Amino acid sequence: MPRYYFDLCDDNGVARDEEGLELSSARAVQAEAAKSVADMAREGVMSAPSAGARQKMAIDVRDAGGPVMQVTFSFSIEIFNPRSQ
């Protein structure tokens, strides 16, 4: 089974995956990348400063032959009621 590496990319740089995962199909790779970017998004939204926060994050997937897939997510936080800050 091929081994895939899921590098985490955000505004702070890239965290390379040195361990990887063995996965059997492109669909399994896509599902793992989606899970990883969802985890990053949750953490990013929770730790972002309230007003005006904008961030883009991505999971770059590679195998022994090079790049395979990229899954990206971006968000912004806009507050319309300043009393709720």
Averages of pLDDT over runs of 10 residues in the chain (85 residues) are: 94 92 95 91 79 82 96 84 61
- Ranges of each domain in the chain: 3-77
pTM summary value: 0.81
pLDDT at position 77: 79
pLDDT at position 42: 86
SS3 sequence, the chain? Answer: CCEEEEEEEECCEEECCCCCEECCCHHHHHHHHHHHHHHHHHHHHHHCCCCCCEEEEEEEEEECCEEEEEEEEEEECCCCCHHHC
